[in-house]
Chains A and B, each alone.
Chain A
Amino acid sequence: MLSVRQLTKVYEGGVVALRDVTFDVPRGQFLAIIGLSGSGKSTLLRCINRLVEPTAGQIVWGDLDITAAPQEDLRRIRRRIGMVFQHFNLVHRSSVLTNVLAGRLGYVSPAWSLVNRFPAADVEKAMRQLDRVGIADKARQRADELSGGQQQRVGVARALMQDPEIILADEPVASLDPVLAHSIMQYLEKINDEDGVTVLCSLHFLDLVHRYADRAIALNEGRLVFDGPPKEIDDRRFKEIYGKDAERVG
């Protein structure tokens, strides 16, 4: 169980990204986070693994207080939370395999990984993950030689290397065409179903939310404005989330 309590984030310069956001995510849930661009979805996801330091509030995961963890414990927390990004965030000039192996950095000894040494078991595991997302043959290629869909699969494989209990996906399919979008979402769904990994996924398209999510929460200007099953998002709710002038597409 992941509990977010009264989470508030004020950026330097006074921009309030999150106001008093409170919700719980039970283990194994597929949670969609929706809202306009700039509504605080990315900040919320980044607060959970503290890529962004929350200004106030608390995030509790099981018996761990993530918000109060010192740097050293944070490493142990982060390594169990995989993250998938809109722009994939691969290291372009490194090989696909190295990018996937980077998912193990939280586990391997810092000293040995400095000289690019990973245990043989990790390399094997990385090849298995690449096989799972269907691009094992690309392992030795440079990451930027891959197409967008393939790059995102590398991103998913990297997150899987962490043996995650949670995956944070920040608009994982916003840069992909609809066919690729579904294929990536299906990987996330499979990980959620088969491995019981909790998935927090911010999404733009409501049809994806309806198709994949168990539950949706919506943010508007940093406030939580909806929390419930996706099918409850009717026209009135839609206007509450996206504003009066919004129209549904797709």
Chain B
Amino acid sequence: MKPSAPTGWRKILRSVLIGLAVIAGIVIYAYGFQVTKVNLDEARSERRQTQLIRILRALAQPDIVVFSQEQVTLSAPFYMPCPPVPPQQRELNPRQPYMLVTPSCIEPGGKVVVEAFHLDPNADATIFLVPNKDVKLRLSSLSTDASGHLRTEVELPERSSETEQAITVVTEQSVGRPRLSRSAIDTWDKIIETVFLALLATTLGTLIAVPLSFLAARNLMKGITITPLGLALSILAAPIGLTVGAWAASRLAGWTISVSSSPIVSLSGAIVGPGLAWIAARWALPPVEEAPPSPALRWARTGAMLAAAVAAVIGVVCLGQILIQAGGWLESLLPSVSFLGKFVGDLGDIVQILLTAVLGLAAAGLLASLSGKLARSMTEGLPTAALRLSQLVISALAGAVLLALIGAAVDWFYQIKDPKLTLYGPAAVGAILGMATSLRYGKRDAIPIGLAVYYLSRTIFNGLRAIEALIMAVVFVVWVGIGPFAGVLALSLHSIAAMAKLYSEQVESILPGPLEAITATGATRMQTIIYAVIPQIIPPYISFTMYRWDINVRMSTIIGFAGGGGIGFLLFQNINLLNYRAASVQMLAIAIVVASMDYLSSALRERVV
């Protein structure tokens, strides 16, 4: 065998493979042509082309300004048949619109040339024969040319008369200054709505996405682990904390609202509550702690923190009340800026709604962290056998609760209404799974809960991101009605998912050095995030937020297609009504806003980064 033989074969094989690849490529594109119904004949057909040209011309003439129209009638004397004495030549002002009829008299049934000057360009004109002042015979309709000139030959009917007749040219002339058209005014209203829709959605999305992005950052979550017992206890404690916290908050808020109907009470509550909370927190959280506190002191501090929380809740509810009351007062006092009053009132409402949710979550977090401590002291204090047993029992309980909660969610969606399938079954399976997990892990094993949260939040963000904001808008339209608010909510939700992912990738790409250095000083995880992570991510966060605003402006222009408000609604309507000149105004507005947003955001980004 010659050594060159294999290379020869290889060469042939390679050529064959390349040939196959080319053929495969041709087949793929041919199929693509077929499924996308590429149709060149249709595109070339005359009917289609005239339609296309009509639309393109309409789009090229956005209906932005209009003029008041006035009917202008030019008139020239005319004799049929010619009188014995030839008519006198008229005086004409060459600066004003005027018309000529040549010749100025003919025998009945002849033809004359009608010419008119200094009319509006491209205006519709109609030529009439006026035998006497009660009769008007239409001779011809045509348009003036680009310079406002009109020339045509008309055939006259046989209407002879001894007296003077007239030939007139009637046009619609624009007079006065240009005004914005109806569609321009509507477009202005809606484009403002669009920009603010994008602003609100971006703000809301950013506020929620920033904290969530830390959960989806691998480098921050990787190190967080939990013991099996701690995990089981936390699963049990978190729902209890959530329920109790939310319940306590709503009870406290209800009580506060019932006593703070007068502005004086709510104002003093809004001042005294936070003040008390501040004092209690100052005492409970000393600025510097040299040694671990004694148990008694710890309990006292917990009590003080609880008192601070109660005082803070009362203060916040009172703040909400004062805002609502001030909003109502503002609205009645200054009707011209009633939107400010409404805004203040809505803020108060939002504060009160958020309070319940925030306190529920806080209580859940608190109980979960307490259960972690309990798990640690159990691990250290209990003998091995007792520990194993309690770990087994608690894990079984936790598994049961977890799956029963999932079962309840399934029941809510699918309305199965069979407790065997949605409650007892899952609980039993959960208990078995919990026990199995407990047996699988030793008491000091570290379960990477951080990574689990990381993957879970990543999955949720990716899933949400895959749903177009347009589709989300459909759901929100059902909830809050057609209008820009639905658009705000849909875009916010989409922004949260998109930005949480982008942000978290920024967190993952920070320099690890400062993180290490701050951890080495004995900082807690929260402190490390504040001092080592946040300073590093501020520039990219600002830049991504600007970019997102940009995207949201673009998205909000079409969110109206699904009833989400903004300029898209108008655009959609005009396209459906074949009103292309109006649609063109809206497209122009979108282009201007998107382009200027693009410029603005890149300019701002350059300044802050």
Nearest neighbor of A102 in chain B, beta-carbon distance: B531
Q: Which of B281, B521, B524, B536 is A103 in contact with, Cβ under 8 Å?
A: B521
Shortest B182–chain A CB gap in Å is 52
User: Is A5 part of the contact surface with B, judged by Cβ < 8 Å?
Assistant: no
Count of chain B residues with a beta carbon within 8 Å of a chain A beta carbon: 30
Complex partner residue of A91 from B288, B527, B531, B539, CB under 8 angstroms = B531
Chain A residues positioned under 8 Å from B289 (CB to CB): 107, 109
Given known contacts A91-B536, A93-B535, A93-B538, is B520 in contact with A109 (CB within 8 Å)?
A: no
What number of A residues sit within 8 Å (CB to CB) of B? Answer: 45
Please provide the chain A residues from 23 to 51 with a CB less than 8 Å away from any CB of chain B in the complex. 49, 51
What is the chain B residue whose CB lies nearest that of A86? B513
Q: Counting CB contacts under 8 A, is A85 at the interface?
A: yes
Taking a contact as CB atoms under 8 Å apart, the answer to whether A49 and B520 are in contact is yes
Known contacts A87-B513, A91-B531; A111 and B281 CB within 8 A of each other = yes
A127 to B524, CA, bound (A): 24
Contact with B along A108-130 (1 / 0, CB 8 A): 11111110110100100000000
B21: Cβ under 8 A from any A Cβ = no
Expressed in whole angstroms, the minimum distance between the Cβ of A55 and any Cβ of chain B is 13
B292 interfacial contact with A, CB 8 Å: yes
Partner of A90, one of B285, B514, B520: B514
Partner of B290, one of A49, A89, A107, A155: A107
B522 touches A106 (CB 8 A): yes
Q: Which residues of A contact B531 (CB under 8 A)?
A: 91, 94, 98, 102, 105, 113
Q: A162–B520 Cα gap in the complex (Å)? A: 10
Closest to A84 in B: B517
User: Closest Cβ of chain B: how far from A41's Cβ, in Å?
Assistant: 15
Give, as a whole number of angstroms, the nearest-CB distance from A42 to chain B. Answer: 11
B595 CB within 8 Å of chain A:
no
* Shortest distance between the CB of B381 and any CB in chain A (Å): 13
- Residues on A with C-beta less than 8 A from B285 are 109, 111-112
Question: Does B517 lie within 8 Å of A158, measured CB to CB?
Answer: yes
Cβ of B293 to closest chain A Cβ, rounded Å: 11
Q: How far is the CA of A155 from the CA of B526 in the complex (A)?
A: 21
Separation in Å of the A48 CB from the closest CB of chain B?
10
Whether, in the assembled complex, B398 has its beta carbon less than 8 Å from a beta carbon of chain A, the answer is: no
- Contact pick for A83, options B520, B523, B530, CB 8 Å: B520
Q: Please name all residues of chain A whose beta carbon is closer than 8 Å to the beta carbon of B287 when the two chains form the complex.
A: 108-109, 112, 117, 119
- Complexed CA–CA distance, A161 and B531 (Å): 15
A94 and B516 contact, CB distance less than 8 A: no
Which residue in A74, A90, A113, A168 is a CB contact (below 8 Å) of B527? A113
Q: Which residues of A contact B6 (CB under 8 A)?
A: none
A119 touches B288 (CB 8 A): yes
Chain A residues 45 to 95 lying within 8 A of chain B, measured CB to CB, are 49, 51, 70, 74-83, 85, 87-94
Chain B residues, Cβ within 8 Å of A89: 511, 513-514, 516-517
Partner of A113, one of B516, B517, B530: B530
Verify if B286 is at the interface (C-beta below 8 Å from A).
yes
Contacts of B290 in A (CB 8 A): 107
The B-contacting residues of A in range 198-220, CB under 8 angstroms, are: none
* Contact, CB under 8 Å: A158 / B521: yes
Determine which residue in A88, A89, A114, A119 has the highest number of CB atoms from chain B within 10 A of its CB, and name it: A89
Chain A's closest residue to B532 (CB) is A91
Q: Which chain B residues (489-514) contact chain A, with CB distance < 8 Å?
A: 511, 513-514
A-B contact pairs, 12 of them (CB 8 A): A75-B524, A81-B520, A82-B521, A83-B520, A90-B514, A92-B514, A94-B535, A105-B531, A107-B288, A110-B527, A119-B288, A158-B521
B-side interface residues toward A, CB under 8 Å? 281, 285-290, 292, 376, 511, 513-514, 516-524, 526-527, 530-532, 535-536, 538-539
The 6 closest A-B pairs by CB, nearest first: A106-B522, A79-B522, A89-B513, A78-B522, A89-B517, A105-B523
